[in-house]
Structure 1
Amino acid sequence: MKICLFGGSFDPPHQGHRAMARAALEKGGQDKVVVIPAARSPLKEKGHGASPRDRLEMVRLAFQGIEGVEISDEEIRRGGISWTVDTLRAWKAASPPGTELSWLLGSDSLPHLPKWKDVHQIFSLCRFLVVPRPGFPREVLQTLEGALEPGEIQALEEGFLEVPPVPVSSTEVRRRLAEGLPLEGLVPPDVEEWIRKRGLYGAVRR
């Protein structure tokens, strides 16, 4: 079985995240995508954004109705900083023989990849599926030369999915909410309802 793990802050989850999961299933040949919201992302500041509970609930709302997508709260239950390598080790240990693990990420994460904990071991545990993001084309891989092994860069190249760039970002969603601007379909309706009901990101409560 081919299982794709999709980790991240999801602060908040948006339509782009849904598109990425679909791309992994439809273009990446995955049997299942497991969405794993982080307890705390190692590359993001502590104390900003929504609580783990709110993010987990928004993830459940955001991905409902997509066949082949499951939600896992394993990193939130584990607590602390959510290291990708720890999650992959756990999956590798628990998966039946023959299971192929992939990790899904946007191409805007590639410049940060060399900073990931035990990044070289990560490449031994999974393959990467990369969804294009505006401003981060395949050519960004050239900037990783010297920071990653040639075979690792080649693996990333082979993992690029042929789909249109995903233009939505959580940063943009938070900015619009803080400024009182309409979200204009950037997040699923149920996610927007949760955000406004809870007054997250400076949104006016409804």
Structure 2
Amino acid sequence: MKIGVFGSAFDPITLGHMVSMEMIADRRGFDKMLLIPSSDTRIDKGRQLTANHHRMKMVELAIEDNSTFVTDDTEMKAAAWHSYTYFTMKALKEKYPEDDLYFVMGADNLPGLPNWEYGKELIENNRFVVMGREGFDMSDIIARDALLTKNEDRFDCLSKGVTVETSSSFIRSRILNGLSVRYLVPDQSLEYALENNLYSEQVDE
């Protein structure tokens, strides 16, 4: 099988996530998209993430009618020092040894990729599908970085053809302030978030 690996905090999952994954899966012929929520032990996210079980439940509710999308808790279960993307991809390749895995990422993350924890190892041992984002010239970003240039054949860069890029932080802020996020978050996921008061107290940027 050809599998896309889509990692995110999913705090919460948004319709932007859903549209991006659907476009990528369709255009690159992925048989499966693995949704990998970040562990709440990650210290590089800049804030404390909502508890693992809440974020996983929101993702499960969002994708329950799409058989191509599958949740995976590999990173959530990893020890804190193994919760970085390099180790997640290594574990997934051991879990799916007969399949072709591609790490799916946004172009906004491409410039900083070489500086990720274990970024060099991640780049040299994996294949990537990079989704275009407004204001980011993917070819230029790769050309300006020696490590990315050296591994250019590992990067499949494409425009999604549709722009639905609502940030999770924007959604958390609107919920905190009692504003509507209808049509920004999958209905079942939003209902779960509101029922459990996940974003009603504070927003950490």
- Give the % identical residues: 29
Which residue among 182, 185, 188 is the counterpart of 1:187?
A: 185
Query: Does the 8 A contact of 1:127 with 1:159 survive in 2?
Result: no
2:77 match: secondary structure = helix
1:37 deviation in Å?
0.6
User: Which of 157, 161, 164 is the matching residue for 1:163?
Assistant: 161
1:35 is the counterpart of 2:35: yes
| 2:176 alignment partner in structure 1 | 178
Aligned length: 200
Stretches of structure 1 that go unaligned for 5 or more consecutive residues are none
Distance 1:42 1:24, change over 3 A: farther
Structure 2 unpaired stretches of 5+? none
- The Cα shift of 1:153 comes to 4.3
Residue 20 (str. 1) matches residue 26 (str. 2): no
Given the two structures, how large is their TM-score scaled by the length of structure 1?
Answer: 0.85
- Contact 1:5–1:36 (CA<8 Å) still a contact in 2? yes
* Deviations 1:20-45, CA, capped at 9 Å, x for gaps: 21122101221111111111345312
C-alpha RMSD of the superposition: 2.3
Give the equivalent residue in structure 2 for 1:119. Answer: 119
Tell me the distance in 2 between the aligned counterparts of 1:39 and 1:147.
30
Describe the SS at the equivalent of 1:5: strand
Change (3 A) 1:75 1:147: same
Q: Which residue of 2 aligns with 1:77?
A: 77
State the shift of 1:14 in Å: 0.4
Q: What secondary structure sits across from 2:104 in the alignment?
A: strand
TM-score after normalising by structure 2: 0.86
The answer to whether the 8 Å contact 1:23/1:161 transfers is no
Q: Deviations over 1:87-145 (max 9, x none)?
A: 11112223334x21101112222233122122222223321112223443436625x72
Preserved contact between residue 106 and residue 130 of structure 1 (Cα < 8 Å): yes
**Counterpart position of 2:148:** 149
Please give the secondary structure, in 1, of the residue aligned with 2:70.
strand
Contact 1:132 1:161 in 2 (8 A): yes
